[in-house]
Amino acid sequence: MPIVIYILGATIFALTTSEFMVAGMMPSLTAAFGVTVTEIGYLISLYAAGMVVGGPLLTVGLLKLQVPHKRALLWLLAIYTVGGAMAAMAPGYGTLAVARVVTGVAGSACFGVALAICADIMGPEARGRAASIVLGGLMLSTVCGVPIATVVDAHFGWRASFWLVVALTILCGAIITAMVPPSRKAQGASLGAELAAFRSRDLWAAFTTSALIIGATFAAFSFFAPIVTEVAGFPAGAVPVLLVVYGIANVVGNAIVGRFADKYTMPILLGGLIVLAITLAIFASFAGNKVVSVAGLIMIGLAGVPMNPAMMARAMRAAHPGPLVNTVHTSVINIGLAVGSWLGGLGIGAGYGLRSPLWVGAGLAMIGVLSLLPYLGFWRRVGMPSLESPR
């Protein structure tokens, strides 16, 4: 695997650390700006909103200008750096909120262009594995990046955490400038070709399955803390340790799926969704048992978010793997995350208890299984491995 792919993974690590680290710095930020925890939580929502809405629009603008992938990524990293510096120097909450929107927009487009560069560099037979390395940066950010940012915040202040991300982004940009090859002419960005890809029913089917996978996962993950403390009976101090265990499971699962995502795309998606549905149902039924809770958390970590490489491989085969397709895919995944979390909270709000998000997740996973069934025969006909022909 070319070293450039790992550099792109490091870039995604920096961006997603910035996205999630606000959660670990809430006490510092509430004290610094004199606002409530809820208002600090909105900073995460603003970043996500920028990713969902602004990322595709910015990508369309870059395609209209016919900016080559490498140059587009460098421009986006420059915008991200400016947004990160705004956050680090923010004199008030409003400036920080604007900075979060700016970084969310640039971050979403960075995902799309980085994956498009992967597709430029790697052949179709290795794109899933390359995507797993790039997306591995996302997994590592939850295990390493966010805890490091929290430690930096505790010792040097919250501004230092933002400056750390800015420095890492600049470093990645410098390495990309030196090492990423320019896009070949035949692979130049074309808005018309990108928009034509969205006429594919198979692409929207892939997007739907991706949203259901992430929705099922985050319906449960969003409420892990109260479930393991109030239902399973773990002390509050055990939550960070359990979340690290979950993060490690994400990293391991991503590495395993990445090795096989190109060759066994559909079996991985179908098998992963079945495992996810069964695990969530068992977890919901026996959430009061500590052993079952830990085992369920680990299995969700292995089988949920780590299906990303297979999700990306499927979408890249359903349409030309350009930056707009990948950026919209990222937006769809974020929509799935938001809807899954909302549905999980809806169950609790309706009075069904803290186990209800697990049942919601199991239901979404089963709908995901149903979304795949019509496509198993299609993949066999076009020569891709299927459950009946596991090449």
Structural fold of domain 3-189: Growth Hormone; Chain: A; (1.20.1250)
The torsion angles phi and psi of 180, rounded to 5 degrees, stand at -75, 125
Report which of 276, 283, 335 is spatially closest to residue 304, judged by C-alpha positions. 276
Q: Which residue has the higher pLDDT, 59 or 377?
A: 59
The tokens of 130 are what? Answer: 């390359």
Each residue of 200-237: pLDDT tens digit?
888 999 999 999 999 999 888 878 878 888 899 888 77
Residue 186 DSSP one-character state: G
Looking at 83-92, 229-238, 291-300, 319-328, which range is the least confident one? 319-328
Instruction: Report the top-level CATH class of 195-381.
Output: mainly alpha
Question: CB count, 10 Å around CB of 371?
Answer: 19
139/251 Cα distance (integer angstroms): 6
Place of tokens 């995507």: 131
45/100 Cα distance (integer angstroms): 9
Report which of 109, 118, 105, 110 is spatially closest to residue 54, judged by C-alpha positions. 105
| Region(s) of the chain under CATH 1.20.1250.20 | 3-189, 195-381
pTM: 0.76
Burial of 67 by CB count in 10 Å (0-12 exposed, 13-18 middle, 19+ buried)?
buried
Burial of 92 by CB count in 10 Å (0-12 exposed, 13-18 middle, 19+ buried)?
exposed
Q: Assign 327 a pLDDT band (cuts: 50, 70, 90).
A: confident
Residue 322 DSSP one-character state: -
Question: CB count, 10 Å around CB of 374?
Answer: 9
- The stretch 251-267 carries a mean pLDDT of 87
- What share of the chain has pLDDT > 70, as a percent? 92
CA angle 206/210/216 to nearest 5° reads 145
Q: What is the pLDDT of residue 326?
A: 80
Q: Assign 165 a pLDDT band (cuts: 50, 70, 90).
A: very high
